[in-house]
Amino acid sequence: MSKPKNIWKEFFKDKKHGGHRCSSEGFLAMEAREKLYHLDGGSTLLDFGCGAAELLTYYAQKYEQLVGVDFSQSMLEEASKRIERKKCQNIDLILADHETLWENLDTSFDRITAAGVIQYLTFQEIDAFIVNSSKYLNKGGKIVLFDLLDSRLYPLWKIGLFSRNASCLSILHKIGFEFRTIISASLKNHPKDILGFAHNPYKVEEIANKHGFRMIYVRSMYYEYKYHAIMFRA
């Protein structure tokens, strides 16, 4: 039986940006500073789902050797242009997904990270990702997963509860809109939510613990409904 098509591969096949709240260099630099704080050192880094290298090129200023991985050719083309423009000579790019990545690696890393990517994996795929990452993580290394969607907060954000002008009417309107969007996406076999799946941090922590990692989770500074999962060997 042939493998079912990955809807996310299809979705990202012609995308060119990581969908940050703001695409200005000023905002990307702020996001990268927050992430570098949590990455907290090391000299080699793997960025899974690096997209157009919008964060990776900032990480490159602090790491000796970096590898960016993505399954979208168009994203990697943008990444190459950005890397050249920013004259980062310490980044290699690999076209691969969460399954094929590992057979392409010939070295291990101090940090394995991903920003805004883990929500495109199911719990089962996250489990496999952590098992594989642990094989390519240097002693004292960390797996740092940024900007996962918090299943407790994301639905509230979606219906506008955090917005400046939230009212009963606007919330009811948004609930109706979300409902229609989900039905229409299901009928067309499109992703129900382009931001991916929301994962409860405690369930992600269970996976980390199962594989011998301790995990702390912290709120994202720039996205109210996202969190970061920082894993290190117990």
Ligand X SMILES: C[S@@+](CC[C@H](N)C(=O)[O-])C[C@H]1O[C@@H](n2cnc3c(N)ncnc32)[C@H](O)[C@@H]1O
Judged by phi (left if over 0) then psi (alpha if -120 to 50, else beta), residue 50 lies in alpha
Cα 212 to chain center, whole Å? Answer: 22
Rounded-to-integer distance, Cα 100 and Cα 10, Å: 17
Token pair 């990776």 is found at 56
- Select 48 or 213, whichever has its Cβ closest to ligand X: 48
Q: For the chain, what's the residue count?
A: 234
Contact residues toward ligand X (CB under 6 A) are: 8, 12, 18-19, 49-51, 54-55, 70-72, 75, 97-98, 115-117, 120
Two structure tokens written together for 110: 């101090």
Least gap, CB of 212 to ligand X (angstroms): 23
Closer residue to ligand X in complex, CB, 12/213: 12
Closer to ligand X by CB, 104 or 167: give it. Answer: 104
Q: Which is nearer to ligand X, 10 or 179 (CB)?
A: 10
Q: How far is the CB of 74 from ligand X (least distance, A)?
A: 9
In angstroms, the CA 42 to CA 14 distance is 33
Q: How far is the CB of 205 from ligand X (least distance, A)?
A: 21
Strands 213-219 and 226-233: antiparallel
Work out how close the CB of 162 gets to ligand X at its nearest, in angstroms, rounded to a whole number: 20
